[in-house]
Structure formats: structure tokens, C-alpha cells
């Protein structure tokens, strides 16, 4: 293979910046068609086409015809090798402004972008970690040298490093529920930092490790200024699903309520049983809370849900107006919406649940493999 000095490398952080800034980008995804159809890079200003690298072994003419000349081009594959292989040929064909994605979709899936959501009344801040490639969201409450992490993702180093930068010690890690689409980093982060790991007891009946029980009325404090995290039992996505109210301002809804959709009740195999719980949580429990609360979910489904700087948030009252999942009047129609025609289940969701229960311990590579693809936790994700 000839050297291609004009080939540039783009990393996941830079790609995130481009997507959030809505800068124009043309992406040639050279993975196989089924992987591409399952999951791809999305952005409002992103044009993307798929030509598998194995169709380009004899030359890239087929691709050149479809790539606009002069526009910034990013070639993407699963890990990196094939995108480099194809991108080099495109450069050799005389094209400029050609990049390949460092670490491929693997790196894209694992990139976390921290954004500040807002300040807390008595000092301190709430941060959101946007896993833009997979649509997962984690949170960190930082106050007076202490921190709590909610719905920690597998990349625990990012949280440790971030807390260190903020001069805070991680005291608590909490999961809103037993996740089925990604592997929780909550337990590992707690072990690494000496923090306490909290789980809803009803989701933890089969876990193999010790944990603290998230129960209504049992407030958790962060920092000397006592930022209270107040658990609200809100079943429906799972039987134990618990929401948190932070600082009387923020409502962390886990996988119960998203910005443009609502949680699906079927990932633990109990769709019919949990429909009533889900409806009750969404139409009664949340309705009784202060409507000024800022809703912060554990996922987003579409890039259109990303706000300024990538933040995913909305006022509860706005969601009652605009979220289709909160505006289904008839119970029967609601039941059909959340149990029929659901999107496919997340990749390896049963193995992921087993891992989060501590029943199996896959290697890092296996965990990465299990998490491939979109989160698909919402009813309306397609």
C-alpha cells in the first residue's frame, strides 16, 4: 500500500464537535450493509452513504461518483482498518479533505462528551455526559468536593478523571434501574473510588453483589451543602425503575420518560405486566410533581433531541405538551403503543442484563461487542 500523506485523521471528539456545531460533513461508511442499517453516525448537517469496503477492493470509482468533490469527507468503518484502506485510495485518486475516523465506530460508541446542565442553588453543578454515538446519558452531581454519578456508563475512567478535575471525591454511584442496553459502570466506579453503589431493590433481586437500596424517603446527600437526591419510585420500564429529584430543580427520569418518547416496558420480558405501572408513573406520579422540574433522561433516540452544546433536557410541563408518549388519552391505545410494533430489542440485551446483575463477567472486548448499536430503550425509536 502506498503512503497517502494527505490523508487526515479525525477522532471521536472532533466528530462530536462537528455534529453539535452542525458543520457540513460527508460520511462514507464502509461497513457491511446490515451493520450500517442497524446503526450509523447521525447529525443534522451530516450526509452519509454506505458502500461496503469489500465492494471497493478493485477500486474506489463507485464511491468517487457519489462523493461531492471539495466537501469534508470522513470514511468510517467498524474499527479503523478498512476505512483507512478505502480513504487512502480516495486520496490517491486525487481527492482532498479526506479523513478517516480514528478507532472507527468502536471509538464513536465509547466517546463521552461532558456538558454542564446548570448550577445548584447552594453551590456546585450538575453535569450531563452525552454518549453521542449510542444515545446514553450519565450525570454527575458535584458539590463541595463531593460527587455522585447517576447511570454511570462502562467508561469509568472518564468519570474518575472528570471528578478529579473538579476536585471532587465520588461518594455515590446510582443506577435508576437495571439497564438492558448498556453495561453499567456504577459498580466498578464505586469499587475504584470507595463510593457506595445504589440500586432499586426490586430490580436487584437477582444480583450477586452487595449494594445500598434506593428507596423512597431515603435521601442521599452530596457535599456539605447537602444537595439532596430524592428517589421517586417510578416503575414501568423495569419494576424497580426509580427517578431522582436533584436540588428540587432536576428530575432524572432514567428510561421512563425521554424528550421525544417514553420508555418501553418489554426488555425484561414483562411488557403486559408493566404497562399499568408505566401509565401510572407517566400520567399520575410525574403529573403530581412540580411542573417546573427540568427532565433529564438516561437516553436520547434522535439527534434532534440534542439541544445547545449537546444538552438533552426539557421542562416537565413542556413534555406534557409536546411528548407524544404523554398525550395518549385512551388506556387501550397506550397499551398498544407500548407493547406493539416496538423497535427491535437492543443488541445482546439479555447478556447485558446478566452482566449488570453480576452473573456473568465478560472481558472488555466482549463487553464492547455486546454494546454495539443504538440503545433502543424508547417506544418510538426506529
Partner 1 sequence: MPEIKTNMTLDCKGLACPMPIVKTKKAIDQLEEGQVIEVQATDKGSLADIQGWAKNTGHHYLGTVEDGDVLRHYIRKSRPAEVKEEKKHPHCVSNEDLAKKLAANDKITVIDVREPAEYSFNRIPGSISIPLGELEDHVHELNPEDEIYVVCRTGNRSDMACRLLSEKGFNQVKNVEPGMSGWTGPLENAEK
Please state the closest distance from residue 373 (CB atom) to partner 1, in A.
Answer: 12
Please check whether residue 101 is in contact with residue 107, taking contact to mean a CB–CB distance below 8 angstroms: yes
Please state the closest distance from residue 368 (CB atom) to partner 1, in A.
Answer: 10
Q: 40 or 177, CB closer to partner 1? A: 40
Please state the closest distance from residue 52 (CB atom) to partner 1, in A.
Answer: 6
| Backbone phi, psi, residue 70, to 5° | 90, -25
Q: How many CA atoms lie within 13 A of 1 on its CB side?
A: 14
The crossing angle, in degrees rounded to 10, of helices 186-193 and 156-165 is 50
Q: 55 or 125, CB closer to partner 1? A: 55
Please state the closest distance from residue 186 (CB atom) to partner 1, in A.
Answer: 27
Query: Is 136 considered catalytic here?
Result: no
Q: 3 or 54, CB closer to partner 1? A: 54
Q: 110 or 277, CB closer to partner 1? A: 110
- Give SS3 for 145: coil
**Taking Cα atoms as reference points, which of 252, 263, 197 lies closest to residue 229?**
252
Please state the closest distance from residue 325 (CB atom) to partner 1, in A.
Answer: 33
Q: Catalytic pick from 77, 163, 239, 319? A: 77
Q: Which residues bind partner 1 (CB under 8 A)?
A: 32-35, 52-55, 57, 77-79, 81-82, 85, 369
Please check whether residue 211 is in contact with residue 197, taking contact to mean a CB–CB distance below 8 angstroms: yes
User: In terms of C-beta density within 10 A (0-12 exposed, 13-18 middle, 19 or more buried), how is residue 99 classed?
Assistant: buried
Distance CA(288)–CA(282), nearest Å, equals: 10
Q: 93 or 271, CB closer to partner 1? A: 93
Q: What residue spans of the chain are helical by DSSP H? A: 12-20, 33-38, 61-64, 81-92, 104-110, 156-165, 186-193, 271-280, 316-322, 331-339, 349-356, 364-370
Which residues are known catalytic residues? Answer: 77
Amino acid at each position: 500500500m502506498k503512503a497517502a500523506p494527505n490523508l487526515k485523521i479525525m477522532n471521536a471528539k472532533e466528530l462530536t464537535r462537528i455534529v453539535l456545531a452542525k458543520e457540513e460533513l460527508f460520511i462514507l461508511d464502509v461497513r457491511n450493509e446490515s451493520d450500517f442499517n442497524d446503526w450509523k453516525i447521525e447529525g443534522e448537517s451530516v450526509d452519509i452513504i454506505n458502500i461496503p469496503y469489500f465492494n471497493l477492493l478493485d477500486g474506489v470509482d463507485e464511491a468517487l461518483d457519489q462523493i461531492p468533490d471539495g466537501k469534508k469527507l470522513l470514511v468510517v468503518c467498524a474499527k479503523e482498518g478498512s476505512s483507512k484502506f478505502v480513504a487512502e485510495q480516495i486520496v490517491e485518486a486525487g481527492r482532498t479533505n479526506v479523513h478517516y475516523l480514528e478507532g472507527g465506530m468502536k471509538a464513536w460508541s465509547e466517546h463521552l462528551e461532558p456538558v454542564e446542565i446548570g448550577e445548584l442553588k447552594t453551590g456546585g453543578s450538575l453535569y450531563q455526559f452525552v454518549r453521542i454515538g449510542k444515545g446514553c446519558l450519565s450525570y454527575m452531581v458535584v458539590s463541595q468536593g463531593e460527587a455522585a454519578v447517576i447511570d454511570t456508563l462502562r467508561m469509568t475512567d472518564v468519570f474518575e478523571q472528570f471528578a478529579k478535575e473538579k476536585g471532587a471525591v465520588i461518594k455515590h454511584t446510582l443506577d435508576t434501574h437495571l439497564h438492558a442496553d448498556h453495561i453499567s459502570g456504577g459498580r466498578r466506579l464505586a469499587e475504584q473510588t470507595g463510593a457506595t453503589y445504589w440500586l432499586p431493590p426490586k430490580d436487584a433481586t437477582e444480583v450477586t453483589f452487595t449494594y445500598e437500596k434506593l428507596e423512597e424517603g431515603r435521601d442521599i446527600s452530596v457535599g456539605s451543602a447537602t444537595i439532596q437526591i430524592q428517589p421517586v419510585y417510578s416503575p414501568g420500564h423495569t419494576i424497580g425503575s426509580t427517578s431522582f429529584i436533584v436540588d428540587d430543580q432536576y428530575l432524572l427520569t432514567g428510561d421512563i420518560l425521554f424528550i421525544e418518547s417514553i420508555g418501553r416496558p418489554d426488555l425484561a420480558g414483562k411488557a403486559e405486566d408493566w404497562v399499568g405501572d408505566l401509565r401510572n408513573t407517566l400520567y399520575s406520579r410525574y403529573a403530581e410533581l412540580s411542573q417546573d422540574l427540568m427532565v433529564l433522561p438516561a437516553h436520547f433516540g434522535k439527534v434532534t433531541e440534542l439541544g445547545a452544546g449537546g444538552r438533552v433536557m426539557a421542562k416537565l410541563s413542556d413534555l406534557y405538551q409536546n411528548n407524544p408518549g404523554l398525550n395518549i388519552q385512551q388506556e387501550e391505545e397506550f397499551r398498544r403503543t407500548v407493547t406493539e410494533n416496538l423497535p427491535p430489542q437492543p443488541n445482546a440485551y439479555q447478556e447485558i442484563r446478566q452482566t449488570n446483575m453480576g452473573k456473568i463477567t465478560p472481558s472488555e472486548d466482549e463487553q464492547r461487542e455486546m454494546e454495539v448499536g443504538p440503545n433502543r430503550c424508547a417506544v418510538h425509536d426506529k
